Every structure is written in structure tokens, then in C-alpha cells.
Chain A
């Protein structure tokens, strides 16, 4: 169906080709998963199938890509539109029209299908993807999972024989991801569609793949084969595979179900060992920066008679970093949060989980003071965040937003660091020291945009930490990170927690929560529905349990590294 013949792609200004010497054939009706560390050219490979590389992205493609006998060199993307459906990483950037139904029809309109055919296919697709109730809704009002389904639906209606998806589940909560994957599987099984997708969250998708295409390193030759074989040599692997490799199962299990059948033995071996309790939060307390000199009010401020706020409250008792009581937040008519009560102590790591739109981001923004509470109270370091000036707030709480790029303004890393020092009134060089620690080997003159996803996250984290906030918030930090970058992040956050930072993570990534969190708080519909030690909350929930916990249930093992230590202890 798809054939790559000696394909190399080189972008302008790049030192080396992004892809080189790719030779592979993807047969019809297969679900092929492209895996590999970030920056190996997965997106470029996917783009080459739809012709967007190089027709739209620029760069030079040598060799030949054939899709169902059509050569992408001579066929522009629009001439492949009836054959290949493409959904990129960001569904919002995919939509052309404003309502769900029009969006589903758009591709067919462009191809000039007859009106009755269009009508029938739109109805079929609405049913197939469970979108019937949303048909008249404006796309802007949909949740992440719904958007992803609409994006997939919009490329399905012209009945393409090939579907190309770039990270279709990364932004979704576990349940929404299951929905999307179930749809893909149905397409492959019932319609014989060929699906090529790239995904970092292997634990979600690897069990559905017929074949895995591994791009081991930039410029290295790709390897394609059965999922179990490829996983045995892949540098990126989900926990279930990691556990299988640790215990030496052969063939490797890919799904929790396979692994559970194999794990009878392992469960017996571990029966005598008590799963380690998460070590208690460290005692350390973050030393605050010296108070900044009271700034003279600006000219405008003096004219308006503004005073430099009352002197900040005397240093509060350091028992809790933040105290949220009965917090309610309304956005217009929507009650985003209702009666949320939460206390975080120094050194504690709390994972905030729940489906898309449950209120996680709203809670974080209330903690930094972007959203004022409509009822209840929020205290961070003894102050009301929404009534405190940003300059004072950065020393008490830092948030790394979902898109770390938002925090970056300057042209170089050095300029960014200098700005952070002056924003936080920290001694010069303190931010640069943090960058060196978190992100070794990044020169001063790099443009932040040229950093990889993981490096950008580390830079944003360094900027936020410059003000030494005792409370650190991260919104969906692992989106777009590969396993290696994620492991580095886990290490960094562990060290910060050890130094006394309280950390609150809003995340869909159950594996991350299992690795890091002392406590898990689950939000649903703006209310706290579960709050307790990570082990108990996570293991008892089918949606939020990490793979290791599912395999070894009912015992409360959360991560592969815990099992590894236990086995080493036994040996």
C-alpha cells in the first residue's frame, strides 16, 4: 500500500538529513506504529506519506514514496486527498469549518462527492465515532477527546485507504484515548484501512499494532517487525514490556492481559515482599530569596494614588505550602470547581488527575492567582494569590504551563535567564546555574525555539525555579516527551521534592503519577472525588492504574523499578 524506496529527507539549514535511506513496504489493512525517541523524524516520515513533505514543509526529498501506486513527487497533497487521510498533532490546527457536521463534510465537498453520498457518509461517521449528539456543536466548544474524534472523522468520510495519525492520544485522558483507539481498530478490522501512526505513549497503543516500525536513532536505518520482536530491542518501551524484559518473559507480553497470565509466577515470588511505601515527604524547606527592595510606585501609580500594597504578611507558619478550602470557581455559567479542599505540605508531590475538562487546569490557575475564587479561599504561602502582585507571587508559587513555550520570550537562553533573574529579583546568574543543572550542555546562544520539547520544558522549569517558589505546579508535563526525557524529568522532580519543594502535577499520565506522587487527587466535574495515598487511589481505579499495578493486582506494586528492587533483594 505504502512503499518507501531509498527515501531521504533533508530540510534546509539542517546539518544532516532528517531521514536517510528509508526502504520499507507497508501492506494493506495493517495498523503500523512508528516508534522512536523524539527527533528521529517520525513526523517527517508520516508527512511524506500524505505528500505534505516536501510539498508543504519544504526540504529536499530524494528517492520515491508510492501510495497505492501514486508517486508523491508528481501528486500534490490535494491529489492524494481521496487516498490518504492525515491528522496532525494538534487537532485544532486541522479544522477548517466551525461546526462538527460541516467539518465532517468538508473533505467530501472538496472531492466533489454527490450530495446524497455525503449525507449518508456523514451519518455513518457520526455513529461510528459516537459523535451524533455533537453534530450541531461549534468545534470550539468540544473537549480534547471529542476534537480528536472529530478530526479523525473528518478524514474518514472521503473513505481514504490510508490513515496517517501523529500522536492521536497524547493529549487525551485514558478513557478518551481508549475510545479513539477502539475506533481505529474497528477501521482496520472492518474496512481494511491501512493505518500508520506515531505515538509516544506506547503503553496505550502497542497492543493494537500489527507491526511496529522502529526508528532507533536519527539517521539510523528503520527496523520493522512484529511488535513483540521490535519491543525486545527498542530503546523506548512501555512498562509492560519493561517488566517482561526484567523478568525474562519470551515472547514479550504487549498487553496487560498477556502479562497477567504470565505473571502468576512473579506474583508468587513477590508474595512475601511488602511493596515499598512511598518515602515520606522530605523535611527540607526551600530557603526563600531575600525580600526585594520595595519598588517605588511608577508615575501612573502615583498619579492614581496607588500605594505599594500593604507590606506582605509576616512570614506564615510553614506547616502547609498551600491551603485551599471550599474553593468554587465559575466561568460564566459553568461551575468549573465546586467545594474543593486541598492542603499541600512541603516536600510533598501531589498528582491531580481526572478526565479532560474536570477542572485540573482551573485549580492550578486559581493557585497562581489567574482565576479568582467565587467561593471559598485559596492561600498560598499565607497570601491570597488573586490579590497579590505577580512579582510577589512568583516567589511563592511557580507554574509550568501545558505549553512551556508560552513562558519564553527572548531570543537566546542567556537573555531568557537574565530576564528571569531580574523578574524574580534573584542574584544574577542563579537562573543560569539552574539551567546548567537541569539541562547540561546547552550553550547560551541557542534560540529557545530550537530546543527539543524536553529541553524546552527543562528551561521553563529553570525559569520558574529561579524565584525559589516553595510550591511548584506542572500542567501536563509529559505531553510530547519520549521515555528518556520523561525519565530525566522524573529524576529532576524527585530531587526538587527532596529539597523541600511541594509539587502539584496535573496529568493524564498514570505512569508518571505512579512514579512520583505521594498523593493522588482525582477531580470529576469540578469536585474532588478521591484524595489519598497514591498507592490506594491508583490501584483501586481501573482507569488510573499504571500497567504494573494492573499486572500485579491486588498487590500494590506501582512501577517496574519497585519490582526490580524487590527482585534484587530476593536474589
Chain B
């Protein structure tokens, strides 16, 4: 049982422990890390840096994801990213682009449009600059999506919802129950397809989908009724008695706060009201939060083993924030390295310091606790 991999040479005290319920990273930490990477991605169009960001996110996912169903969503997000790039490219080729370019790749036949559609072009000249620009922009969006996908596959969505404030708890439970429905419906579809085969009918085709669809929906409806009954019988929705004064204050704070937020946002967006906008927005936000907090008093519930923010969680969150901060700083100091020129076309170069900063995002792959399935397989090899 000798280990030959890199982390194995670390002293045992520094090795990441196996994940258990007690040391599980809060879902919020993963989201902060991923949002940090996404912020960094939004600051650059350099394909090399974007590629590095995707690589970092992908490595961490590979090193720390579990066997849970949501953990498999990463692949779907990568496909979505590629689709975004493709769509962006197609639009740019067929609808033209505002980027002026000199190097014509090919010319599509142009559709003549009436005078009122001026400024819109279909077909026509396609330049290398315009294609490269579309690729860069598409890659930026795709990287953003992939970072979100990484958070999605690393963080347990149910635990994320559990950290909602008490007043929003019931919404959270509804979402969790809805999420457990998806696998059940998949199982239902499989069962009903079997049943169709048993009746001697083909299992594919539109008629099969229609005939299976109804019973599946029916089953889902029945199940939701029985889950609701079970939840009720187990005390869901019990409320505590609160004095009428508190109840009224809650309503005033929440409503007033929301009004303040609306008015403040309007002020910020409108040209004149910027002076009053920000304070109004902040005051509204504070009032609404206080209302939600006070509203939580009506719910009697407590929380079982909430996730704790330990050193590892802070490290994970901080590594994402560090990547974002470094990229924002680099954008201010050396913007040309983060946005390689399109007109004229230049080959993008990998700026050393921002690239090094992106690598900080790999920290979670070393500090986050190892999920059990992975730690088992590593013990065996």
C-alpha cells in the first residue's frame, strides 16, 4: 500500500481528511469559490486564461466530486458551454458583426433587405477578425457557465437550501421535494416502458411517449399528495404563537423594505436620483432583511447539524475570491494582456502573473475533504 502520488508525500496532518457529515464543506463555500472563478472569467477574453480557468475548475471537480446525481451535471454544463460558443459563432457568421475587419475568410450570399431594416444584415462578407471576436466572447460566456456547473456538481443543493433563513424555509423544502421527484419520475418512465413491452407494444415512438406520459404525471401527482400527507403528519408547517405587535412589525418591515429597494434601484438607474438612490436602496435592503429575520420567529423549527464554516471552508472560499481579486487588479493594471487585440489580429499571449493567480483556484483540490467514494478507491490502489 505505498502511495506514489503527489499528495501522498505530505505529512499526514496536512492531507485532506475523508469527508463525513461533520467536516463537510458548506455548499456556500463552493459557490463562493465558483463565483470567484466566474468573476475572473468575466474580466478577460484571453482564450489562454479562459482555458486555464476551465482547467482549474475541471480539475477540482474531478478531484472532489461525489457519486451523487447532481455531481454528474458538470458534463452537461460543458456541453452547454460548447453550444453557447457554437451559437455565438453561427450568429456572427450569418448576421455579420460590428467588428471592422480586413481579412476576409469567405463571402456568403447576402439577402437583400428593405430600407426599414437598415443596420441589419443577413449573409455577406465574413472576416477572420469577426470570427475570432465571436469565439472570444463565446468562450467567456462558456467559461462562466462551466464555473457555475462546477459549483453545481460540488455543492449539495439540498444543503444550500438548508442555509436559507427560517422565514424562507418552507420554500426551500418545496424545492428539495421537487428535486427528489426527478429521479422518481425517471424510474416511473422505465417501469411503464417495461409495462408497454409486456403488452406487446413498441417502447419507442411518439405514441409510446404520449401513452406513458399520462400515467407518469398521474403517478407524480399521487406521490406529491402522499408526500404532503407525510410532511403534515410529521409536523411540517407548525407555527409558534407570536405577539400581534411582532407580526405587524414584520409586515411593515418587509413591505417597506421591498418598496425601498424598488425606489432605490430606480433612483440609481435614473440619471438624476443617484444621490438618494444608494442610501434608499441600502435602507430598504436592511429593512427587508430585518423583516425576514423577524418573520423567522413564527417558525418553531430548529436545524440539525448545520454545516460549519471551518478553516477549510474559508480557504476554499478565499481561493476563489483571490482569483477574482487578482484578475480585477490585472484588468486595471494591464488591460491589454487580458483582452488580446482583434483588430489587428494578434496571437494571444499568456500573461504570467494573472495565470499564476488563476492557479490559486486549485487550492480546494488539496484542502477540501475527500468524498468517501474517492477516498475508498485511493485507499485500495
Contact = CB atoms under 8 A, between A and B. Distances in A.
Interface of A: 50-52, 55-57, 76-82, 84-86, 88, 90, 92-98, 101-102, 105-115, 118-119, 122, 135-136, 138, 140, 154-155, 158, 365, 368-370, 389-391, 393-395, 398-399, 401, 403, 406-407, 409, 419-420, 423-424, 463-464, 467
Interface stretch (B134-142, B197-205, B254-262): B197-205
Contacts of B198: 368, 390, 394, 398-399, 401, 407, 464
A107 B211 contact: no
B199 A96 contact: no
Given A52-B233, A81-B235, A96-B234, A390 B21 contact: no
10 contacts: A55-B232, A86-B233, A96-B177, A97-B158, A98-B180, A102-B158, A105-B304, A119-B304, A136-B21, A138-B68
A122 B304 CA distance: 10
B234 A107 contact: yes
A95 B192 CA distance: 23
A108 B191 CA distance: 35
B231 interface: yes
A463 B199 CA distance: 8
A136 B372 contact: yes
A109 B199 contact: no
B21 A101 contact: yes
A98 B215 CA distance: 24
B237 interface: yes
A52 B232 contact: yes
Contact of B235 (A82, A98, A118): A82
Given A93-B226, A370-B194, A406-B192, A78 B236 contact: yes
A52 B237 CA distance: 15
Interface of B: 20-21, 68, 158, 173, 176-177, 179-180, 183-184, 191-192, 194-203, 211, 215, 223, 226-238, 240, 300-305, 372
B233 A84 contact: yes
Contacts of B191: 401, 403, 406
Nearest to A76: B232
B194 A111 contact: no
Contacts of A136: 20-21, 372
Given A81-B238, A390-B197, A140 B304 contact: no
Given A56-B229, A86-B233, A93-B223, 4 more contacts: A77-B233, A95-B227, A109-B304, A390-B196
- Which one of B196, B197, B235, B372 has the greatest number of beta carbons of chain A within 10 Å? B235
Contacts of B199: 390, 394, 407, 419-420, 423, 463
A168 B177 CA distance: 23
Nearest to B299: A112
A213 to B, nearest CB: 21
Contacts of B197: 368-370, 390, 393
Given A98-B158, A118-B304, A155 B211 contact: no
- Which one of A90, A109, A365 has the greatest number of beta carbons of chain B within 10 Å? A109
Contact of A77 (B21, B184, B232, B301): B232
B190 to A, nearest CB: 9
Given A105-B304, A112-B301, A391 B233 contact: no
Contacts of A419: 199
B196 A365 contact: no
Contacts of A77: 229, 232-233
Contacts of B196: 390
- Which one of B195, B201, B226 has the greatest number of beta carbons of chain A within 10 Å? B195
B200 A394 contact: yes
Nearest to B19: A136
- Which one of A93, A113, A395 has the greatest number of beta carbons of chain B within 10 Å? A93
A310 B158 CA distance: 52
A220 B237 CA distance: 37
A365 B194 contact: yes
A50 B231 CA distance: 12
B233 A78 contact: yes
A401 B304 contact: no
Contacts of A401: 191, 194-195, 198
B215 A114 contact: no
A291 to B, nearest CB: 14
B235 A102 contact: no
A275 B229 CA distance: 51
Nearest to B173: A96
Contacts of A140: 180, 183
Contacts of B226: 88, 90, 93-94
Contacts of A122: 304
B162 to A, nearest CB: 9
A110 B21 contact: no
Contacts of A114: 302
A288 B251 CA distance: 74
Contacts of A96: 173, 176-177, 227, 230-231, 234, 236
B235 A78 contact: yes
A78 B230 contact: no
A97 B173 CA distance: 8
Nearest to B223: A93
Given A96-B173, A97-B158, A390-B200, A154 B234 contact: yes
A114 B198 CA distance: 52
B200 A391 contact: yes
B232 A56 contact: yes
Nearest to A56: B229
Contacts of A90: 226
A137 B68 CA distance: 10
A394 B195 CA distance: 11
Contacts of A84: 233
A384 B303 CA distance: 55
B233 A81 contact: yes
A158 B237 CA distance: 16
B352 to A, nearest CB: 43
A369 B193 CA distance: 12
Given A77-B232, A368-B198, A464-B198, A109 B303 contact: yes
